[in-house]
Structure 1
Amino acid sequence: MTRKTTTPPVRKTHKPKAPPSARTAKPAVSKPPRSAHPAAAVPAKVSKPMAKPALPKPQSCTAAAPTAAAPSTASRDTTQARLITALKHQSGATIEQLMHLSGWQAHSVRGFISGVLRKKLQLVVDHQRGEQGTVYWIREGAAASTAGGAQ
């Protein structure tokens, strides 16, 4: 049996760089004068003086007084108000239902329940695991205990 011997691969040697004076210079790019720039040919815009804002018309003393406004939380349709309404419902709400109402992801809904409802608004939120998932609801008439710290 004859063995073939292989020669190791030949390494290429690194060519030293030529000194800067021996390198070929790139041709200089000349810039057009500023007056030849296309944007300079367009005349500058002249600003117009602003008109004075119209003053509101004075209301007469005979105008009817506005009626008592509804509570601001009931009139505003915020995500927080929708979620609280769903959680105050007798059957409660699952994470999936709250995700659908708010457009949030599951971790954001759980953070809202923990951070806003329990800690900031001091509401008592109960939960129970069921076949459909964990059902959350706000317990009516109960306030979270602040003396005990975290729940």
Structure 2
Amino acid sequence: MENKRVCLVVEDDNDIRGLISVVLQRAGFDVRAVSTGAEGIAAAADPAIALVTLDLGLPDMDGHVVARAIRALSKAPQLFLTARSEEDDVLAGMASGAAAYLTKPFRPKELRELALQLCPAPVSQAPHISGKSLC
């Protein structure tokens, strides 16, 4: 059985959550997607979580509160993926524990690259040609 990296996606918009999930799955992640801050905090307790993407504009809780609660449960890097793009928002996000900050609308390639920087694939999952690793 392949041991994939697990990404927790916390995003209330169904379409965006679906897009994030597809991009991350294609990048080699196993994705667990939830739509509320409370669900995100509960899911973050799983030690298998290797990366968290977090929307700051959630319907039930402030995203910064969610980020701090997740940080207390998990050392997984947090990638904030949000429409909040003002400098104060970015600074507050970084203070809340974000390892990276990506604003909406985003390009799927940007998300993929950031996710792979924050949580690189283990050597066993790296692309191979003729039995030789490309990494």
Give the TM-score taking structure 1 as reference length.
Answer: 0.22
Bigger fraction of residues in strand:
2
Highest RCO, 1 vs 2 (Cα 8 Å, sep ≥ 6): 2
Q: TM-score, normalised by structure 2?
A: 0.24
